[in-house]
Amino acid sequence: MDDRAGLRNQLRPDVNYERPAGGGRRLFDLVGDLHGKTILDLGCGLGGFRPQIEQRGGTWVGMDLAGERVSVVGDAYHLPFGAGSFDGVLCAALFEHIPDLDVTMREIQRVLRTGGKLFGYASFLEPFHGMSYFHMSHMGLEHLFLKHGFRPTHVFAPQIGTAYQLECMLFPKPVPVIQPIARVALQRLFAAVLAVNRGARAVMYAVRPGSGGSDSARNLYRQLLSVRFAVGFNFVAVKDETAMPVTAGYTALVRED
């Protein structure tokens, strides 16, 4: 089936895959104005995102299994909040650690008001870490959203996963100064490798006229490379149960007889 899965079946036309300048640090810019809004930081850990939410005028509610800096102690299977309690839900590196993610998604959908935003980060090519259960491709993440009444708007890769994997192999424990320098060098190296990949495909288009070398096809392929080798995905999705999913991926290739 893979040979029939063209570029347009692997990327959704209603999702923005472009990495903004600044990468994952610009995620909150995509979420928009938070003044007067209450945001649930689910799996908040040490509350590292609290300043960003409060600086943007939002009210931060942090929930985790334990910790001195949480607002509410609890688990992601039973959110102790009423329906429509939040304007946004932040899930930063949470999904991969939930064994039954469908249960958690139903709970998130319940406590988020219609039109509210679910945003954060989910692992893809990160190495196994801290009881990881599910690392998802961009298509897996989009399927999860659509399944539970969310319309994905942004899915983008903050880093190249292959470079991050090599970094983890070289530095099993954090090393000040040296590791950040190595991280930048590795990311640039593999960015150059992907540029070579795109160049090779451009040559193929040149020697094979009519093989799909239009500007739109080149752009689709560039976006596909970025998600294919992503360390993970920053995402924004809107609770919109009436949104009709655009057929893509496996669904687009299944024939209804």
Q: What does the pLDDT look like over 128-178, one tens digit per residue?
A: 998 899 999 999 999 999 999 999 999 999 999 999 999 999 999 999 999
pLDDT of residue 41: 98
The set of long-range contacts for 248-255, using a CB threshold of 8 Å and a minimum separation of 24, is 248/8, 248/9, 248/10, 248/11, 248/12, 248/139, 248/142, 249/5, 249/9, 249/10, 249/139, 249/143, 250/1, 252/9, 253/1, 253/4, 253/5, 253/9
Bridge partners (DSSP) listed for residue 170: none
Torsion of CA 179, 184, 190, 193, to 10 degrees: -140
> How confident is residue 184, by pLDDT bands cut at 50, 70 and 90?
very high
d(CA 247, CA 45): 37
pLDDT of residue 130: 84
d(CA 191, CA 193): 5
Q: What does the pLDDT look like over 52-84, one tens digit per residue?
A: 999 999 999 999 999 888 999 999 999 999 999
pLDDT of residue 1: 41
The answer to whether 223 touches 11, Cβ cutoff 8 Å, is yes
